[in-house]
Amino acid sequence: MTETIEEMLIRHEGLRFTPYRCTAEKLTIGVGRNLDDKGISKDEAMLMFYNDLEECERDLSNKVFKGRFFEFPGPVQGVLINMRFQHGPGGFRRYRKMIAAFKHFDYEKAILEMIDSNWYRDKFTQDRAKELIEIVRSEIK
């Protein structure tokens, strides 16, 4: 058998895309990556970050705003990406009224919906929410 070391390690360790506890009770991901003791490098973190960022933009463009995402000014795109990144796909979609307002380019209504949310009232995210609202507000002509 002409198995490479990579193939052998994947066969022995397994390939898992979500974190799990290995037999030594260490938080593990991928091909035996011990997150408890080793973690990830900055390059690995940034690779995941850029992949997640791309996923957010693709979701907003293709699914949420169905090809109209790039009609928004750059700063508004940034706000939407930021919110989608923070809340994930399901969490972001719970902002139905805000999304509807953005779909109609009604930034004032979108701001009201952003303010009328637990996200805005949460003491841990309120500064972030206020900053993003100010960015949207700056785009009102």
42-55 pLDDT per residue, tens: 999 999 999 999 99
Residue ranges and CATH numbers for the domains of the chain are: 5-34 (no CATH), 42-137 (1.10.530.40)
Residue 141 has a pLDDT of 80
Q: Which helix (H) or strand (E) holds 17?
A: strand 16-21
What's the whole-number mean pLDDT along residues 111-129? 97
Q: How many angstroms separate the CA atoms of 63 and 57, rounded?
A: 10
State in Å, rounded, how far the first CA of the chain is from the last one.
69
* pLDDT surpassing 90 at residue 33: yes
3-state class of 48 per DSSP? helix
For tokens 């907003």, what's the residue? 60
Summarize pLDDT for 61-80 with one digit per residue, the tens.
999 999 999 999 999 999 99
What are the residues whose beta carbons fall under 8 Å from the beta carbon of 15, sequence distance 6 or more?
A: 30, 31
